[in-house]
Amino acid sequence: MLKYLIIPLADDSVSFCHYERGNKSDRLIDMETLKNAIFWAMTENLNVQFVYPDKEIPSAYKAIVETIDHAKIVGSHCEDKVLTDEADIVVFDGWNDLDTFKCQSGKSYVVRTDKADLFDNADVIKSLFPKLDRLVVVITDIDKFQESDFQKYEALLNAMIPIIKEEYGKGHSLHFNLLTDRMFLDKMNNCNAGDETITLAPDGKFYICPAFYLDGSKTVGDPVTGLDIKNRQLYRLDHAPICRKCDAWQCRRCVWLNRKTTLEVNTPGHEQCVVAHIERNASRRLLDEIRTLGEFLPEKEIKEIDYLDPFEIIKQ
Ligand code: SF4
């Protein structure tokens, strides 16, 4: 069932996920289309997320946006500083500006990084934990991970565990998606693009997610004629034969990455699975560590497993 509508307000709206930001045009969504999209979201009872470009949008657009409850996703380089202050989610491309940016408590900060920059910035990440309440790291080249990267990734997450434990010891319930999300989950909590989330792009058409719009994929309808997703069941967890048996519940289960790596939206690539399982197993170790401080999530159990790619188990 649909729950969320993502509306990138321009072709070059900030990317908050694995895909690269659009760079071919700075076209804004048409104002009538925006009004229709908001009306459609109201009739479908959807939560709306507006994704902003770095250039300030005209005040007429701001007035339309404010006609519906919504979340704002804004880039750290947005010209509109009032908007950046009001944003629910601020997105950084890389680690460079984070030490000087004035972070606010209660807000989510997303950092898009490739694996090389991630491995080089372990100290920056550690230094952020006392300052932020929610840090979301999105690795933009997961599909390029190799065996040596998996080992570096595991070492990086292990090095974060004592620092996060220290924060919890101080009463700071920090959320760091790569390590703490899995501790709190009872079931799959994925992106669910095409099932629970749909995107209305600046061309006035629906797409599975902003990445599908930017890579030239086919539209899946518009607010006037409605949604038309071919083989819609393939976007659901119950039609993802590997993922539905998996307990790396924090995994994004990115259908765009799936299609890029396996040509099937419901079949993940090896790299996405191994990365998610390294996170899952590190979360297990973090949970054990925090419990040495006192009672913490007593009903939660993350089982010990001896595989990193569920496909290997299914093959047997
Ligand atoms: S780790 Fe792999 S199998 Fe598990 S949810 Fe993620 S993509 Fe699916």
Please write the tens of the pLDDT for every residue from 81-132: 999 999 999 999 999 988 888 888 889 999 999 999 999 999 999 999 999 9
Residue 105, domain CATH: 3.80.30
End-to-end CA distance of the chain: 34
Mean pLDDT of 227-244: 94
CA of 243 to the centre of ligand 1 (A): 5
Question: How much is the mean pLDDT over the chain?
Answer: 95
- Can you give the pLDDT at residue 111? 98
CA distance 189 to 30: 33
CA of 285 to the centre of ligand 1 (A): 20
Kindly tell me if the per-residue pLDDT of 315 is higher than 90: no
Q: Is the CB of 248 under 6 A from ligand 1?
A: yes
Q: Is the CB of 246 under 6 A from ligand 1?
A: yes
Task: Kindly list the distances between the CA atom of residue 43 and the CA atoms of 9, 31, 227, in Å, as whole numbers in the listed order.
Answer: 20, 19, 13
CA 186 to chain centre: 19
Q: Is residue 99 part of a domain?
A: yes
Higher pLDDT, 140 or 98: 140
Q: What six digits make up the tokens of 93?
A: 């491309």
Kindly tell me if the per-residue pLDDT of 219 is higher than 80: yes
pLDDT digits (tens, 9 = 90+) for 207-218: 999 999 999 999
Buried b (16+ CB within 10 A) or exposed e, 206-228: bbbbbbbbbeeeeebebbeeeee
SS3 label, residue 45: coil
- Can you give the pLDDT at residue 311? 83
Q: Is residue 40 part of a domain?
A: yes
Q: Is the CB of 251 under 6 A from ligand 1?
A: yes
- Can you give the pLDDT at residue 40? 95
> Which ligand 1 atom is at minimum distance from the Cα of 240?
8
Ligand 1 probe mutation, 273, 305, 313, 315, most atoms within 8 A of CB: 273
Mean pLDDT of 124-151: 96
Q: Is residue 209 part of a domain?
A: no
Residue 56's pLDDT band, with cuts at 50, 70 and 90, is very high
- Can you give the pLDDT at residue 102? 86
Nearest Cα to Cα of residue 216 among 4, 6, 25, 3: 25
- pLDDT above 70 as % of the chain: 99
CB atoms closer than 10 angstroms to residue 85: 12
Q: Is the CB of 257 under 6 A from ligand 1?
A: no
- Can you give the pLDDT at residue 152? 98
CA of 193 to the centre of ligand 1 (A): 15
**Atom 5 of ligand 1: nearest residue by CA position:** 243
CB atoms closer than 10 angstroms to residue 230: 7
Mean pLDDT of 142-166: 97
- Can you give the pLDDT at residue 98? 87
CA distance 197 to 48: 10
Ligand 1 probe mutation, 235, 251, 309, most atoms within 8 A of CB: 251
**Atom 8 of ligand 1: nearest residue by CA position:** 243
Q: Which residues lie below 8 Å from residue 6, measured CB to CB, with a gap of 6+?
A: 48, 49, 51, 197, 198, 199, 200, 209, 210
pLDDT digits (tens, 9 = 90+) for 39-51: 999 999 999 999 9
Task: Kindly list the distances between the CA atom of residue 207 and the CA atoms of 69, 313, 316, in Å, as whole numbers in the listed order.
Answer: 22, 33, 36
Q: Which residues lie below 8 Å from residue 232, measured CB to CB, with a gap of 6+?
A: 194, 195
Q: Is residue 292 part of a domain?
A: no
pLDDT digits (tens, 9 = 90+) for 243-283: 999 999 999 999 999 999 999 999 999 999 999 999 999 99
Task: Look at the chain and report how many structural domains it folds into.
Answer: 1
- Can you give the pLDDT at residue 103? 87
| pTM for the whole structure | 0.95
Q: Is the CB of 273 under 6 A from ligand 1?
A: yes
Nearest Cα to Cα of residue 119 among 60, 160, 84: 160
Nearest Cα to Cα of residue 203 among 222, 185, 217: 222
- Can you give the pLDDT at residue 266? 95
Q: Is residue 243 part of a domain?
A: no
CB atoms closer than 10 angstroms to residue 124: 15
Ligand 1 probe mutation, 153, 234, 237, 253, most atoms within 8 A of CB: 253
Q: Is residue 280 part of a domain?
A: no
Q: Which residues lie below 8 Å from residue 311, measured CB to CB, with a gap of 6+?
A: 242, 268, 270, 273
Mean pLDDT of 132-144: 97
Q: Is residue 220 part of a domain?
A: no
Q: Is residue 118 part of a domain?
A: yes
Residue 237's pLDDT band, with cuts at 50, 70 and 90, is very high
Q: Is the CB of 242 under 6 A from ligand 1?
A: yes
CA of 178 to the centre of ligand 1 (A): 14
Host domain of residue 141: 4-189
Kindly tell me if the per-residue pLDDT of 314 is higher than 80: no
Kindly tell me if the per-residue pLDDT of 284 is higher than 90: yes
